[in-house]
Structure 1
Amino acid sequence: MDRVYTRLRADILDGVHPPGARLGEAELAEATGSSRTPVREALRRLEVEGLVEVLPHRGARVPDWTAEDLEEIYDLRMLLESAAARRAATRATTADLDRMDELCRLMEAAVEPGAGQDLDRVAALNAEFHDIVRAAAASGRLVSMLNAVVQLPLVMRTFNRYSPADLARSSAHHRELAAALRARDGTWAESVMRAHVLAAKAVLLRAARTPGERNDHTETRTG
């Protein structure tokens, strides 16, 4: 059952099943090479996480998040992730800080316009950067709450909405956050993380309210 759950969860987060997509048990069982029982159990678990909604007499589907949903999600993320940054300022190791500096360099190289731009790589590097901050916070409860908020499809797929200016600002935030953590300044780190999440929220809300406008970027993950 865990195999089916893991596969379905990854497919939702990666956009294989986009927002609004119907999740038929028979089709999912065939796709995962399983019976309907583990599929049904996986859908129940995903419903608890907020990644699936089950509608009476209509089956399951991937939620289609509204602007109001996104605003709530990002407000929660801002509170939790800024708290994590404050805690990380006094707990991050030298190895953590050195890796964050390296990730900043790698992300900056990957967002350079042109043939070398690779936003899929930026997304992976960005996820590692934020994972370091969360792990350095050394709070299992905080990390669990953050995972519940951050691991949502529309939160994870926003780089396609980022303009070059948005990407540059995100990179600058990463650099400043790394500097704040190296300075062991929790107040500074918290402030930078709040600004970082609020900026991402503004981009995503703008996109949600003007769905016809898209940047020429591949849909992938950010944060």
Structure 2
Amino acid sequence: MPRQTAKTPAARVVKPRLADQAYERLVELVVSDLPAGSRLSEAELSTTLGMSKTPVREALLRLESEGLVSPIPHVGYLIPHLSYSELREALEVREAIEGYLAMLAADRIDDVELSELRAVFTQTEAGLGQDQVADIDAMKRFNALLHGAILQAAGNAKMEQILATVRNQVNRGIKELIGNDQRRYKLSFDEHGVILEALEARDPARAERAMREHVESVNVHILRRFR
């Protein structure tokens, strides 16, 4: 049955802690900008981010706990090369959790959100075929929008927390092993359309199946390229 989300009073905006800000910026550097094998200096990062060493150190420790950086005694940190087993495990966790979240979202997502997703999907689809870079950027934006909407609609903070621990490892794999493969992005975009149809049908089992099939398709592509 379609859901309507009640509007709640605007909450007070809380500024993120410096350590959290440092973490987000370092994730972008490690996952998107810097190649494996790069060394990170706490002092240099503090200068780059315009922060003291304390929040940067806290952020680096968090990245280390997620396997995104490795400490080098008396030197700093290293961005390690991807491990096949660690990447495979992260991908398997993502498939299981995102499939379940899609199942929850099919029953909980509101009609307005679905309409907005459909509008963006239709607009994105109509604009494809003009320029490869623009096409990939547009499909990436819809990817983030859809997965984010499902995560929010599912409303399961515990699963979101578990997913967050593997998401950056998965994103590293996507960056290094998929890169700008337009055909892979188009296949994912088409799979996103199937997921959206399942959400619109309010069919939890179908939504879970569509999401798991999508994530598995990406997983197979990544792991085949790894080898």
Q: Give TM-score, length-normalised by structure 2.
A: 0.80
The aligned counterpart of 1:192 is 210
Greater helix share, structure number:
2
Shift of residue 159 of structure 1? 4.7
Runs of at least 5 residues in structure 2 that lack an aligned partner in the other structure: 1-17
Q: Any conservation in 1 of the 2:95–2:215 contact (CA below 8 Å)? A: yes
Q: Residue 84 of structure 1 corresponds to which residue in structure 2? A: 101
Tell me the CA shift for residue 30 of structure 1. 2.6
Question: Which moved further from structure 2: 82-91 or 48-57?
Answer: 48-57
What secondary structure sits across from 2:77 in the alignment? Answer: strand
Q: CA RMSD in A?
A: 2.3
Match of 1:97 among 92, 106, 114: 114
Q: Secondary structure, in 3 states, of the residue corresponding to 1:54?
A: strand
Identify the match of residue 181 of structure 1 among 159, 179, 199. Answer: 199
Alpha-carbon distance in 2 for matches of 1:159, 1:105: 24
By how many angstroms is 1:177 displaced?
Answer: 0.8
Structure 1: runs of 5+ lacking an equivalent: 210-223
d(CA) in 1 for partners of 2:112 and 2:70?
A: 41
Deviations 1:124-181 (A, max 9, x none): 22111100011111111111111222133414525525352x3332122111111111
Q: Distance in 2 between matches of 1:115 and 1:176?
A: 23
The amino acid of 1:173's aligned partner reads: E
Distance 1:32 1:115, change over 3 A: closer
Displacement of 1:28: 1.6
- Tell me, yes or no, if the aligned pair for 1:110 and 1:122 is still in contact at 8 Å: no
Say if 1:86 and 1:187, in contact at 8 Å, map to a contact too.
yes
**Inter-partner Cα distance in structure 2 for 1:94 and 1:81:** 21
C-alpha separation in 2, matches of 1:124 and 1:60:
31
Q: CA deviation at 1:55?
A: 3.9
- TM-score when scaled to structure 1? 0.81
Deviates more, 1:191-200 or 1:144-153: 144-153
> 2:151 & 2:40 partners in 1: Cα distance?
32
The answer to whether the 8 A contact 2:95-2:216 is kept is yes
Kindly tell me: are residues 160 and 111 of structure 1, through their superposed partners in 2, closer, same or farther at Cα, counting changes over 3 Å?
farther
* Aligned residue in 2 for 1:108: 125
- Corresponding residue for 1:215? none
**Residue in structure 2 matched with residue 21 of structure 1 by the alignment:** 38
